[in-house]
Structure 1
Amino acid sequence: MSAPAAGPRPAAPAARRRTLRTVTVLASCLALVAAAVVLGVRALGQEPTVTLLANWTGRDARYFREAVIEPFERRYRVHVDYQGSSAESQVLSAEVEAGTPPDVVVLTGPGELAAYAGQKRLRPLEQLIPRGDFSRSWATPLYGHVYWFPLKADLKSIVWYPAGTGEQQRRKAARQPDQWCLGMGSGATSGWPGTDWIEDILLQQQGPETYERWARGRLSWRSGEVKRAWTTWRKTVGAGGRRDLVLRALTTEYQKASELVTADPPRCTLEHQASFVRNQKPWRKADGRYEPSAPFIPGAKARNTWEVSGDLVALLHDTPQAGKLIRHLASAGAQRAWSEKESGFSVDARVGPPAAGSAADWHRSLAGTLIDHDAVHCFDASDAMPPPVRDAFAQAAIDYLADASPRHLDELLRNLDALSSPGDLTWLPSVCDSGS
């Protein structure tokens, strides 16, 4: 056999074990040192962090991080500790109660933010955001300050239908409750698709002045105007009627309601839903088109009047890094980047609708409506109401869908009136823009 190649002799097993132990101990020490350095740097403020709570999860959270958070982190060398939750209201309430609220929060409800402002939990923003870039319905002054502004907006007074569905076919479908796609489920916030319907019906039938009085707690739930909106919704979607339709609506998540549009054969034709639903797979597949909701609502008389909603940014801890994040989120660049990445829109006066050819026609049209100075925009009434009233309204919509008898409706509205009357509730000073 050949002689072994020249070179050092292999280490004995015991020597190899001692070497491995030495390497392992050294690696562990280095890891501890590295961790200590990271903690030390953060403790010394050399890697500042800002905490942010919002409702975006999954794909939306990824888009938000890519379009908005990562550019901020690169520019300012500030780490954003992002927490996304579909139950953000409950999470925020628990964290505030525990004394560990986030620095910045994004909520859909100005009514909820108004309650926190009344508790002196929020910090004024007028020194951090440009003046005049957001109208009063989006950045509503309260107690002499501005406490929130919109990062993302949506239009709600619209009805979606598949491409190729003619006007006569749409009007016929609107008179058939089984042709309306409706899903009331939304986890802890179930029922809001029903409140959207009732709010929009009241707005289109009675106009913005009546709508605003009601949304600000100055019009009884048992008034003829409000009661008419509830009964119109009952007739339109078949509340309290066919058990199969009611059960379908009560057991369907709002995100899945439009799946019936692309069923074979289709099981519904129309959906009264906000602009964000166009990004759902069924409406993309059906090449969804929209028109204003007013032609579908019996007795509608309002003109160029729209219900809107938004994701609103507020500040709880006024730290230097939180201030930088607020300025970034209010900047035209961040507003534009998020609206281009996500299904929502910016209502920042500096951003404007997408240029021709850069977005689909429906997207540009919706964006233009949201910033149309001749239009009246009224914020989602339930989102603007104090949280106890908002939550009871959503539950009442579910209960009325199951039992739409006149006696039951009177009971539900009487209960809502009672919940709306305590003097310690915070109501917004306005929810509608006047238009020009």
Structure 2
Amino acid sequence: MSARTGHAPAAPGPPSARRPARTLTVLASCLVLVAAAVVVGVRALGQEPTVTLLANWTGQDERNFREAVIEPFERKYRIHVDYQGSNAESQVLGADVEAGTPPDLVVLTGPGELAEYARQKHLVALDGLVDREDFGTSWATPLADGHVYWFPLKADLKSIVWYPAGVGEQQRRQAVRDPARWCLGMGSGATSGWPGTDWIEDILLQRYGPDVYARWARGDLPWRSKQVKGAWTTWGGLVGAGGDEDLVRRALKTPYQSASEPVAATPRGCLLEHQASFIRNQPAWQRADGRYAPSAQLLFGAGATRAWEVSGDLVALLHDTPQAKKLIRHLASADAQRAWTARESGFSVHAGVEPGPDDAGSTWHGSLARVLRDERAVHCFDASDAMPPAVRDAFAEAAIEFLAHPGHLDALLRSLDTLSGTRGLTWLPSVCDRSSPGPP
């Protein structure tokens, strides 16, 4: 699962005691209202078409998105983009769909959630709007009806462990087996628990390979299988599930964005963080000049990385309007994706966006970009994001419960098996771009 700020209205200033200032204020306010009415009127008359877009980017990411992607589109096509950024976009979208007022476009991290909307006929197929060959099958997955309903605008790599510059290989390997040396924060508002699901997914992928991982992500491998259960217990051992009460309590109460703060403290606290590529932009990792190692090598001593877990922010179309289709084509274009990648807000996996040797001017950024685009590697989408929403949410809740009470694991897995067997759930046919041999 991938990561997600609200905006308070500005308070009005105090009224002036002098009549001329008050008069000018009233006049200015009237002019503002007239100007706003003119804008609304122009849009109502169709002279400035508008397309609505809901996504999870706020703060600096939203500014980067507006400047690099949205503003060039508005200038070129004279179409206004009414953008709404929310860290609870799934809940906002669900409420809008139920009310019959969904946005024209939406960006979600979960293909499993989008597949459910497609099954309910809320999404418009992207045939003729997006070239499938521009994106791999793990990114733009055809559903059972043969249509593609989404594509990635932003991608991230997850099978990595971050550490501060200057920390040597021996020190890293010693830290791996010490739960206190792991930076872990499970908090994420309504989606709390997903950092734990990322751990479990990646351990399963690295230990048993893409075929086992894909079977589980499709609902074909039971949660109580030895492979899946083994991934849970391995994670529990690494991070000290059910152990030191202070350590567990801190992990449960810490937001994922704050988990890395101890790496930049004096004296330094935790040393390693298993987290997606987007975490490198957090202030603590910037101050620590964060470096990364493939999780397969650090956790299991693998000579070569077998496969990579990935995630993405996926664009889907809900209204088949001319302006919405123009925005879809723009967001799927190499130019738009290249422009945003240059801001280091994420990575593009568009076939026409080749990462250079010094992509975006950062060694770490260019290196990760090349891994995401490596045609020799296997890329598997975040399994929980690919699962039906009910299963995804239960998985995240179970990760929280297991961290506090690992003795409850059998009951948690039994419950997940029961839920996964519910009739009517929508499972993706594929989550990996290709298969590879299992473990040696």
What's the offset of the Cα at 1:43? 1.9
Contact 2:341 2:360 in 1 (8 A): no
The equivalent residue for 1:428 is 428
The equivalent residue for 1:415 is 415
Partner deviation per Cα, 1:14-64 (whole Å, 9 max, x = no partner): xxxxx99x9999989877765554333212211100000000111111111
CA distance in 1 between counterparts of 2:405 and 2:24 reads 72
Decide whether aligned partners of structure 1 residues 90 and 301 sit closer, same or farther in structure 2, where only a CA change above 3 A counts.
farther
Contact 1:205 1:299 in 2 (8 A): no
CA distance in 2 between counterparts of 1:106 and 1:229 reads 30
Partner deviation per Cα, 1:261-313 (whole Å, 9 max, x = no partner): 11111111100000111111111111111110012334869843000000000
CA distance in 2 between counterparts of 1:185 and 1:29 reads 46
Partner deviation per Cα, 1:383-435 (whole Å, 9 max, x = no partner): 00000000000000000000011xx1000001101111112000001000117
Matched, 1:328 2:324: no
List alignment gaps of at least 5 residues for structure 2. Answer: 1-19
The equivalent residue for 1:94 is 95
Matched, 1:49 2:42: no
CA distance in 2 between counterparts of 1:50 and 1:416 reads 39
TM-score by length of 2: 0.90
What's the offset of the Cα at 1:171? 0.3
CA distance in 2 between counterparts of 1:159 and 1:34 reads 52
Matched, 1:268 2:270: yes
CA distance in 2 between counterparts of 1:37 and 1:381 reads 48
TM-score by length of 1: 0.91
User: Equivalent residue of 1:314, what SS?
Assistant: strand
CA distance in 1 between counterparts of 2:116 and 2:38 reads 41
Decide whether aligned partners of structure 1 residues 32 and 255 sit closer, same or farther in structure 2, where only a CA change above 3 A counts.
closer
User: Equivalent residue of 2:93, what SS?
Assistant: helix
The equivalent residue for 1:167 is 169
What's the offset of the Cα at 1:164? 0.9
User: Equivalent residue of 2:350, what SS?
Assistant: coil
Q: Of 144, 149, 152, which residue of structure 1 is paired with 2:151?
A: 149
Decide whether aligned partners of structure 1 residues 371 and 31 sit closer, same or farther in structure 2, where only a CA change above 3 A counts.
closer
User: Equivalent residue of 2:260, what SS?
Assistant: helix
Deviates more, 1:122-131 or 1:111-120: 122-131
Contact 1:73 1:80 in 2 (8 A): yes
The equivalent residue for 2:214 is 212
Decide whether aligned partners of structure 1 residues 57 and 31 sit closer, same or farther in structure 2, where only a CA change above 3 A counts.
closer
Contact 1:184 1:252 in 2 (8 A): yes
CA distance in 1 between counterparts of 2:34 and 2:349 reads 48
Q: What code does the residue aligned with 1:304 have?
A: R
User: Equivalent residue of 2:81, what SS?
Assistant: strand
Partner deviation per Cα, 1:321-353 (whole Å, 9 max, x = no partner): 000100010011110111111331000010011
CA distance in 2 between counterparts of 1:358 and 1:315 reads 29
User: Equivalent residue of 1:171, what SS?
Assistant: helix
CA distance in 2 between counterparts of 1:82 and 1:227 reads 42
What's the offset of the Cα at 1:196? 0.2
Contact 1:373 1:435 in 2 (8 A): no
Contact 1:115 1:426 in 2 (8 A): yes
Contact 1:384 1:428 in 2 (8 A): yes
The equivalent residue for 1:294 is 296
Matches within 5 A, 1:102-251: 102-142=103-143, 143-251=145-253
Decide whether aligned partners of structure 1 residues 367 and 29 sit closer, same or farther in structure 2, where only a CA change above 3 A counts.
closer
Decide whether aligned partners of structure 1 residues 311 and 24 sit closer, same or farther in structure 2, where only a CA change above 3 A counts.
closer
Decide whether aligned partners of structure 1 residues 31 and 359 sit closer, same or farther in structure 2, where only a CA change above 3 A counts.
closer
CA distance in 1 between counterparts of 2:266 and 2:24 reads 64
Decide whether aligned partners of structure 1 residues 267 and 122 sit closer, same or farther in structure 2, where only a CA change above 3 A counts.
same
Q: What code does the residue aligned with 1:380 have?
A: D
Matched, 1:305 2:341: no
Decide whether aligned partners of structure 1 residues 166 and 45 sit closer, same or farther in structure 2, where only a CA change above 3 A counts.
same
CA distance in 1 between counterparts of 2:435 and 2:374 reads 8
Matches within 5 A, 1:73-92: 73-92=74-93
CA distance in 2 between counterparts of 1:289 and 1:105 reads 33
Q: What code does the residue aligned with 2:376 have?
A: D
CA distance in 2 between counterparts of 1:24 and 1:327 reads 44
Q: What code does the residue aligned with 2:243 have?
A: G
The equivalent residue for 1:354 is 356
CA distance in 2 between counterparts of 1:234 and 1:100 reads 43
CA distance in 2 between counterparts of 1:412 and 1:327 reads 43
Contact 2:262 2:269 in 1 (8 A): yes
User: Equivalent residue of 1:261, what SS?
Assistant: helix
What's the offset of the Cα at 1:356? 3.0
RMSD: 2.2
The equivalent residue for 1:403 is 405
What's the offset of the Cα at 1:316? 0.3
Decide whether aligned partners of structure 1 residues 260 and 425 sit closer, same or farther in structure 2, where only a CA change above 3 A counts.
same
Decide whether aligned partners of structure 1 residues 393 and 26 sit closer, same or farther in structure 2, where only a CA change above 3 A counts.
closer
Decide whether aligned partners of structure 1 residues 422 and 36 sit closer, same or farther in structure 2, where only a CA change above 3 A counts.
same
List alignment gaps of at least 5 residues for structure 1. Answer: 1-18
CA distance in 2 between counterparts of 1:60 and 1:389 reads 29
% same residue? 73
User: Equivalent residue of 2:133, what SS?
Assistant: coil
